[in-house]
Every structure is written in structure tokens, then in C-alpha cells.
Structure 1
Amino acid sequence: MSSHSSPLVVTTSIYVLLVLVWATTPLAIVWSVEEVHPMWVLLIRYFGASIIALFILKVRNDPLPFDQISLKSYVAGSLNLIGAQLFIYLAANYLTSGLMALLFGFSPLVAGLIGHVILKTQRLAWLQWLGMAVAVLGLVYVFADSADSKVNPIGIGLMFISIVSYISSIFWVKQINAPLNPMSQATGSLVVSALASLGLLPFIWQHVPTQIPGTHTIVGFVFTMTMSSIVAMLCYFWLIKRLNASTVSLTNVMTPIIALILGALLNHEHISMNAVFGIAVVMFGIVMYFWKEWILMYKAKHMR
């Protein structure tokens, strides 16, 4: 293997790992709330992930600054964690893992819409508007098939609140632009999220777990605490430093498809053929949205 192919293999491996972790996370969330109240799962996840992250930070000898700008950035980052994830965990009671992943695939479309309409930082091309319209029509078709599939309007609403929280966090962190390395930013945000989750205790104390849950719940706990909160985070920050943003955004197309397959194989989630057609329309719309960026990226790469 040549010296040039080795970095490519490493990058490809990390990319595949990120896609697999993100595709499996919705199923892990659904499993983790089977026997334990969702908010207890969230609280335990963030305290466990914070301890792991602090340990990694110590081993790497990375700093965890507590100046005003850094603290503000941690709070902004926590909006992606305790903010977005809170609504995802609530949505897990209403949607299948595959449909949760499908809805989160709308996040780049929502980001583009916010950037175009509210922040005025992005101009959307006609093909992107068309892609959005096609994706929404596909989602409406899936929703219309709710009699045969586990599609609940409450779950859809919770997922879109989660997406807005996730996108707002990204814009806020970029606007603050704190001089933090990715591990410090992530650890600080995890700690803030863990402390914020303590505010849930008065509302969930009566649902405190009183016995050891089953295998599915434990697997979901461990996976979200380690793989989703730590490994995926490190993979993501590693990739966005080395790849074009549009290349990383391809995960939004691949993740829902893999999540649907995993949900069907491992959790016996049934999706009717009508819903499958609607999902295919959604994915086609997302591809249309990214098409122009992918073409420009391809041309730029071959002009070097």
C-alpha cells in the first residue's frame, strides 16, 4: 500500500464508522427507553458521557478553559445535546428508529432555509428549493400512510423542534467562534448538558429506575453513552477538518436508509410499501438539494 493510499483508507474507515454510528443511534435510543423513562436515560447518558470525555481530555492533556467566551460556547454547544436530544428521546415513544433518522435527514435543508430566510448568509438555488419541496411532499406521503406505519404527528413535531435546536446550536457556536479544540468544546458542552439535565429531576423523580433493565435497554444505554456521544463526535470533528462539508453531508442521505434496514432487521419495525415509496421520494429530494454542491465539489477537485 502506497503512502498516499494509507490516509485515504483511514479517512474512509472513519467516514464509514461515523455513518454506522449515526445510523444505529436512533435504534439505540428506541431500545434505551423501552424500560426506563426517556428523561432518566438522557440524564444517565450525559453524566456517563461527561465522565468519559473528561477522562479522555485528561489523558490527551487538553485544556478545558472556563473563561467567558468558552463558557458561552459550551452553552451554545449544549443546545445541540440536551436541547436537541431531549426532544429526540421524547419522539422515540411515537416513531420508529428508521423514521427518526429520516426526519433528522432534513437538518441540512432546515439549516439552508434558516441561512437563506433569517440569517441572510446563504442563497438557495432553484434546484435546492425544488429538492426541499420534493422532500416535504415525500414526508407528507409517509404521514398520510400513518394508518399502516408508526407515524405520529406528535413525534414529527418533536423531531423538528430537535432539528431547529441542533441547527441553532451550530450557528451559535460558529458565531461565538471560541478558540477551543474540538475535544474541549465537546467536553464542556457535555458537562453543561449533564448539569442542565439535573433540572429534570423534580419532574421525573417518581419514574426513577428501581431494577436492572433488560439487554436491549442496557445495550442502548452503553451505545449512546460511548459511541453516539464520544466516538461519533470525534469522527465528525476529524472529518470536517479534512473533507469538504458537502462530502460530510452525504451522511444525511446514507444514514436514514441504513437506519431503516437496521430497524427492520433488529427491531422488527414494519414499514409499508406506501411508506417506502414516500421515504424514497424524501431521499430523492435531499439528493436534489445537495446535487449542485456535489457537482461543484467534483469540478473543483478535478481542476486541481
Structure 2
Amino acid sequence: MSSNSSPMIVTASIYALLVLIWATTPLAIVWSVEEVHPMWVLIIRYFGASLIALFLLKLMRDPLPLDETSLKSYVAGSLNLIGAQLFIYLAANYLTSGLMALIFGFSPLIAGLIGHVILKTQKLVALQWLGMAVAVAGLSYVFADSADSKINPIGIVLMLISMVSYISSIFWVKQINAPLSPMSQATGSLLVSALGSMLMLPFIWSHMPTEWPGMQTMIGFLFTMIMSSIVAMLCYFWLIRRLAASTVSLSNVMTPIIALVLGATLNHEHISAHAVAGIAVVMLGIVMYFWKDWQRQYFSKW
């Protein structure tokens, strides 16, 4: 094996790990809220993840700046965490893990739409508009199968709010442009999210867990706290510095498919033939949306 192939193997392994974590997270969330109130799960997750992040920050000898710009960036980043995740956990009571992943796969399309219409930072071509239309049509076809699937309009609305929070956080952090390392940014955002989650305590105090949950719930909880909050974050920032954005965006095609398979296999979530056809149309729309970037990166060299 040549020395040049080693970095490629490492990058491919980290990429595969990130996709697997992102695909498994919706199922882990569904499991984690089966026996514990979703908001208590969220609070404990962020306090636990904050402690782990602080330990890693000290281990890596990264600073945690507390100047005004950094604090603004932490708050902006927390909108991705406590903001987006809050609504995802609430949606877990209304949707299957596979459909949650499928809906969240629309986030790059919504981000492009916001960049084009509101921020004027991105110009969408005809194929991207067509891809959006095809993806929405496919998703509508999936929702038309609600008689046989666990699809609830409340869950759809909650996931859409989550997507807007996630996308807004990305734009906000980018606009602030604080000179922070990925680990410092993530740790600060986790701390703000943990503190912000305490505002929910008066409303959920009566639902405080009084006994240890079952093994499946614990597995889901620990996975989201360690893998989804820490490991995935480090993988993402590592990859985004080494790969083109269009390459990282490939995960938006793979993640929902893997999530649907995991939900059906491990959580016995029903996927009808009607829903599978709609999912295929959604994936086609996402591929059409990203085709221009992939063509420019991969095929222009041929």
C-alpha cells in the first residue's frame, strides 16, 4: 500500500463514520424518548455532552474565548443545537426515524432557497429549481401514504421548524465569522445550549425521571450524547476542511436511505411500496439539485 493511499483511507473512513452517525441519530432519538420525557432527554444530553467537550477542549489545549464576538458565535451555534434539536425531539413522537431523516435531508435545498431569495448569496440554476420541485413532489407522495405509515402533520411542521433553526444557525455563525477553532465553537455552543435548556425546567419538572430507563432507551440516549453531539461534530469539521462542500453534500443522499433501512430493521418501522416510490423520487430530486456541483467537481476533469 502506497503512502498516498493512507490519507485517502482515513478520509473515507471518517466520511463513512459521519454518514453512519447521521443516519443512526434519528433512530437513537426515537429510542431515547420512549420512556423519558423528550425535554429531559435533551437537557441531560447537553449537560453530558458539555462536560465531555470541556474535557476534550482541555486535552487538545484549545482556548474557550469569552469575548463579545465569540459569545455571539456560541449563541448562534446553539441555535443549531438547542433550537433545531428541540423540535426534532418533539417530532420523534409523531414520525418514524426514517421519515425524520428524509425530511431533514431537505435542509441543503432550503438553505439554497434562502441564499437565493433572501440573502442573495447564491444563484440557483434551472436544474436546481427542478430538483427542488421533484423532491417536494416525492415527499408529498410519501405523505399521501399516511394511512399506512406513522405520518402526522404536527411532526412535519416540527421538523420544518427544526430545519429553519439549523439553517439559520449556519448562516448566523458564518456572518459573525469569529476566529474560533471547531472544538472551541462546538464547546461554547454546547454550553449555551445546556444553560438555555434549563429554561424548560419549570414546564417539565413534573416529568422528571424517577427510575433508570430500559436498555434500548439508554443506548439511544448515550449514542446521541457521545456520537451525535461530539464524534459527528469532530468528523464534520475535519472533513469540511479537507473535502469540497459538494462531496460532503453527498451524505444528504445516503443518510435518509440508510436511516430508513435502520428504522425498518431495528425498530420495525413499516415502509410501504407507496412510500418507497416517493422516497426514490425525493432522492432523485436531491441528486438533481446537487448535480451541477458534482459535475463541476468530478466530470470537468475528464
TM class, shorter-length: over 0.9
Partner of 1:29: 29
Residue aligning to 1:219: 219
After superposition, give the CA deviation of every residue in 1:239-264 in whole Å (9 maximum; x if it has no partner).
00000000000001000000000001
> Which whole-Å CA distance do the structure 2 matches of 1:18 and 1:39 have between them?
25
What is the match of residue 84 of structure 1? 84
Distance 1:142 1:206 in 2: 37
Give the structure 2 partner of residue 195 of structure 1: 195
The answer for the alignment partner of 2:241 in structure 1 is 241
In structure 2, runs of 5+ residues without a counterpart are none
Give ranges in structure 1 of 5+ residues lacking alignment: none
Percent of pairs with identical residues? 80
Match of 1:120 in 2: 120
Report the CA distance between 1:271 and its aligned residue.
1.1
CA–CA distance in structure 2, aligned partners of residues 216 and 92 of structure 1:
15
Q: Deviations over 1:81-140 (max 9, x none)?
A: 000000000000000000000000000000000000000000000000000000000111
State the one-letter code of the partner of 1:132: M
Q: Distance in 2 between matches of 1:167 and 1:299?
A: 29
Q: CA deviation at 1:299?
A: 3.7
CA distance in 2, matches of 1:182, 1:12: 20
Partner SS for 1:145: coil
Aligned to 2:131: 131
Instruction: Give distance in 1, aligned partners of 2:245 and 2:288.
Output: 16
The alpha-carbon deviation at position 80 of structure 1 amounts to: 0.2
What SS does structure 1 have at the residue aligned with 2:216?
helix
Counterpart in 2 of 1:111?
A: 111
SS in 1 for 2:293: helix
Q: Distance in 1 between matches of 2:200 and 2:16?
A: 35
Q: Whole-Å Cα distance in 2 between the matches of residues 280 and 135 of structure 1?
A: 9
Cα offsets for 1:247-303 (capped at 9, x unmatched):
000001000000000001100000111011111111110010001110001145x37
Once the two structures are superposed, residues 145-174 of structure 1 have per-residue CA deviations (whole angstroms, 9 ceiling, x without a partner) of 100111111101100100000000000000
Residue number in structure 1 paired with 2:53: 53
Distance 2:146 2:47 in 1: 36
Q: Distance in 2 between matches of 1:12 and 1:292?
A: 23
Partner Cα separation in structure 2 for residue 233 and residue 250 of structure 1: 17
2:249 is the alignment partner of 1:283: no
CA distance in 2, matches of 1:2, 1:248: 25
Residue of structure 1 equivalent to 2:62: 62
**Per-residue deviation, 1:38:** 0.3
Q: d(CA) in 1 for partners of 2:285 and 2:153?
A: 21
Secondary structure, aligned partner of 2:42: helix
Q: What does residue 228 of structure 1 align with?
A: 228
* Amino acid paired to 2:156: I
Q: Give the Cα separation in 2 of the matches to 1:297 and 1:150.
A: 39
CA distance in 1: counterparts of 2:122 and 2:58, whole angstroms: 39
TM-score by length of 1: 0.98
Q: How does 1:151-300 map to 2 (within 5 A)?
A: 151-299=151-299
User: What are the superposed Cα offsets for residues 15-70 of structure 1, whole Å, 9 maximum, x if unpaired?
Assistant: 00000000000000000000000000000000000000000001111100000000
- Name the residue aligned to 1:147: 147
Counterparts of 1:13-24 in structure 2, within 5 Å, are 13-24=13-24
* Secondary structure, aligned partner of 1:270: coil
CA distance in 1, matches of 2:267, 2:215: 13
